[in-house]
Structure 1
Amino acid sequence: MKHHDLHLQAAWNDKCVDRRGAYWNIPHAASVDLVSHGFSGIAYRVGLYHSSGISEDSTREGAGQLPLGALPGICGQAALYWEKKKEIWKDRRSQPHKPFNLLDSCPRVLLSGVIGGLVTAENLRGGDRQERLVLRDSFPRISTDLFTSAGISTQLGHFQRWFLDFSKLDAHLNIGSVNTLAMSLHNSNQLNKDFSNFPNVEVTFQQQVAGPFCARVDSRFMLDSTFKKRPSLQDLTYSFEWSPESFGALKVVAWYSPMRNEGMMEFRLLEK
């Protein structure tokens, strides 16, 4: 299909991570998604998701309510959303030197926004009798919700010189569930303690260290919808990136998350 992507995924001995960084062991899971794509405009996403549920060795200590991906059975979701991106400034001057990374060579200021609706069919979920009773009390069979996101991306420098030629700051405000936000504003005392759908702010900062080497910090803060508490830090990741000049759009990234106590080295291609 033109202007569509079909995603098929299956995993065994998988792990589901919630917003608090808690891991849930899932013996097997599968999903299929049909996604329309474009730079701006109306788009949609339709998917079916199957999970075997958490295994017996999963720990609930220090964790909250089960995340959606860890619940057993089949779940159907359909989302329709409008996305808009607007460049309010871009440096279009030609540069004499080749950048260390082609995708990070254009200084600009970009605004983005998304607003949409989501329909979820939870009545497709299975599991044993006890799980079905819990799910029936916790989730409606068919639910609807709204979500929105707004962000700004600012880059300075062409990433060509060896020093002080690349700085980038990204900030996004995400409201994953307008229903949850409205409930918290109406009655914060009776709100469920699952914070996965609370508004959050994601901030990413990148700074050139020397030549093709950059340092990066990714953070996510949960906002208190009543505005009575300070934002709480939910995740923090430190990264060190190397962009081999001969490959153009390849990055070698080593990252570590002190909150999740894990790290990894990755090869990333075509990442902006």
Structure 2
Amino acid sequence: MATNFWNQDSVSVKAPNITGRTLPGCPEPLKLFKPSGLDRSVQLHILQRFLHVPCTPSFSQSSGGVVVDRVMAHFGHKEWWMSSTLRTRAQSIWSQRHDEEAKPLLDPEMYGFETHGRTSLGRDTVLTAKAEFDSLTPLVALVKPNHPAVVESTGTLGETLRRHARARATLRGKIPLHEVTAEAAINERCVDAAGGYWDLPESLSLDCTSKFDRSPLSYRVGLQKRRKVRTNASCDEEPERCIAAQAAVQVQHKACFWRRAAQAATPKGTATRRPPYGAVLETPRLALDMGVGALLSCPISSGVQDRLVGIKGVSVGQFGHLGATLQLGSFSRLLCDYTKVCVRLATGAPPADLSAPLGNSDELRRTSAHGEAMRRDATIGPRLANHTLTATLSQQIVGPVRGRMEARFSMDPMESNPSASLQQVKVMETVYGVDVCLPVRGAMRLVAWYSPTRQEAMAEFRLLES
């Protein structure tokens, strides 16, 4: 159900905070692309303070190769905290050195900056906010307008800010059996179904999600206002503001066809096997999960008459998924004691006017990691897939070390003939990873991954994940 809305988090190495958003209608992020339970700035602060790691490297081809992040300031209290992170494009600096080896070090384009904060506004309400800059050029322009990098940059200060700056504030609160989220974002970085990056100029959203314990029924309602850049709009024309209202309901069910029996105990009452390397680990099993749902959507224009027309044009879509999981081994022996295979088929998508809030203007194309490879005549870049197949394989290598591979396939036929579906299956996104269960009772893992699709790689800690 979350795939039909607008605020799914996805890992993005392009950002110092390592977080982006998926576009509405894009599939759920692959598991390795889902954010960890520990904020990136907190991870960096722990590495610097307790393990004395001066900076943390990651890789992004679109950012020049290897980049390093370091927390410059971190302070707070039990009710709030704030952190600031500096990003350095180390490989770009090294590759651009010439006779004047120190010149790239003084180029503000070689650095990025991010500040992130969180505060509690009561027992059940949390406010988070972040602001980030892909380049320090806008900040340098405020202090030193005659700096060579500022003089060489094209456009006014406002245009420079639109190219390099982005911000987001999120207010999340809990009410009985529900969670309410209000969010405002400027220049939000989004990831599409094929791993390309886009910037949504501005967005406001409000949605309410059900939180029923052990209930197969869930629902979500939301309202979003965004700036839509039209395909045929001129540069001087004010972009259209559009409002989208959505409501979705879903029923899910999980069934376990086989589960390994509980461990036998010795006469002394102790288990015959050693504890598993991971603390959060499901028992070996063969399980099936499925879900079906419906989506009610209504695009509303800014004018009163257009709004009435939009309400009359309410559309209904269906979506569903079917998944199977097979796990063998208990992950307690040194070798060949853990294999997990997951397959998930998802179908259905929201109407095109809600899943394609972006135009094909240069303003939105500039952040794409594969801009030249995209079809120039597409309205939103790569096609949003209505039917996808996701496959995950996880295998123990030795001891607490496991290898993981994830891939997503598009199964949308290019023709109306259903028999053409098999001929149009193609890989949308792949990622390879390795994780190591750390000796803290297996509750924390060190995960490293590489995505040939996005041409990105990074390592991070993850809490309480299997």
Give TM-score, length-normalised by structure 1.
Answer: 0.75
After TM superposition, the structure 1 = structure 2 runs for residues 165-184 of structure 1, keeping only pairs within 5 Å, are 165-177=337-349
Question: Is the CA contact 2:290–2:322 (under 8 Å) kept in the aligned structure 1?
Answer: yes
Instruction: Indicate which of 219, 242, 245 corresponds to 1:44.
Output: 219
Question: Is the CA contact 1:35–1:44 (under 8 Å) kept in the aligned structure 2?
Answer: yes
Partner SS, residue 246 of structure 1: coil
Using the alignment, how far apart are the partners of 1:173 and 1:72 within structure 2? 35
Correspondence for 1:76: 245
Identical-pair percentage: 31
- Structure 1's 15 and 178: CA in aligned 2 closer, same or farther, altered over 3 A? closer
Question: Is the CA contact 1:105–1:160 (under 8 Å) kept in the aligned structure 2?
Answer: no
TM-superposition CA deviations, 1:110-148 (whole Å, max 9, x none): 100010100112115x59xxxx9xxx99xx953210001
Correspondence for 1:269: 463
Distance apart, 1:85 and its partner CA: 0.6
Residue 213 (structure 1) aligned with residue 397 (structure 2)? no
Residue 245 (structure 1) aligned with residue 439 (structure 2)? yes
Question: Is the CA contact 1:99–1:105 (under 8 Å) kept in the aligned structure 2?
Answer: no
Distance apart, 1:231 and its partner CA: 1.2
Correspondence for 1:227: 419
Question: Is the CA contact 1:39–1:84 (under 8 Å) kept in the aligned structure 2?
Answer: no
Question: Is the CA contact 1:167–1:207 (under 8 Å) kept in the aligned structure 2?
Answer: yes
Instruction: Indicate which of 254, 264, 282 corresponds to 1:85.
Output: 254
Identify the structure with the greater strand proportion: 1
Give TM-score, length-normalised by structure 2.
Answer: 0.46
Partner SS, residue 276 of structure 2: coil
Using the alignment, how far apart are the partners of 1:253 and 1:195 within structure 2? 30
Partner SS, residue 122 of structure 1: strand
Question: Is the CA contact 1:149–1:172 (under 8 Å) kept in the aligned structure 2?
Answer: yes
Partner SS, residue 227 of structure 1: helix
Using the alignment, how far apart are the partners of 1:260 and 1:9 within structure 2? 27
Using the alignment, how far apart are the partners of 2:185 and 2:285 within structure 1? 39
Correspondence for 1:32: 206
Using the alignment, how far apart are the partners of 2:282 and 2:224 within structure 1? 38
Correspondence for 1:163: 335
Correspondence for 2:276: 99
Q: CA RMSD in A?
A: 3.3
Q: Which consecutive unaligned segments of at least 5 residues does structure 2 have?
A: 1-174, 230-239, 264-270, 353-378
Question: Is the CA contact 1:39–1:85 (under 8 Å) kept in the aligned structure 2?
Answer: no
Identify the structure with the greater helix proportion: 2
Residue 15 (structure 1) aligned with residue 184 (structure 2)? no
Question: Is the CA contact 1:105–1:159 (under 8 Å) kept in the aligned structure 2?
Answer: no
- Structure 1's 214 and 114: CA in aligned 2 closer, same or farther, altered over 3 A? same
Question: Is the CA contact 1:16–1:26 (under 8 Å) kept in the aligned structure 2?
Answer: yes
After TM superposition, the structure 1 = structure 2 runs for residues 186-201 of structure 1, keeping only pairs within 5 Å, are 195-201=383-389
Question: Is the CA contact 2:385–2:410 (under 8 Å) kept in the aligned structure 1?
Answer: no
Using the alignment, how far apart are the partners of 1:214 and 1:196 within structure 2? 32
Query: How many equivalent residue pairs?
Result: 238
Instruction: Indicate which of 440, 448, 451 corresponds to 1:257.
Output: 451
Question: Is the CA contact 1:151–1:171 (under 8 Å) kept in the aligned structure 2?
Answer: yes
Distance apart, 1:179 and its partner CA: 8.1
- Structure 1's 40 and 165: CA in aligned 2 closer, same or farther, altered over 3 A? farther
TM-superposition CA deviations, 1:35-79 (whole Å, max 9, x none): 22444522111122343457xxxxxxxxxxxxxxxx964322110
Letter of the 1:111 partner, please give it. L
Instruction: Indicate which of 313, 317, 341 corresponds to 1:145.
Output: 317
TM-superposition CA deviations, 1:152-182 (whole Å, max 9, x none): 01111111112111110110010023989xx
Correspondence for 1:61: none
After TM superposition, the structure 1 = structure 2 runs for residues 105-116 of structure 1, keeping only pairs within 5 Å, are 105-116=282-293
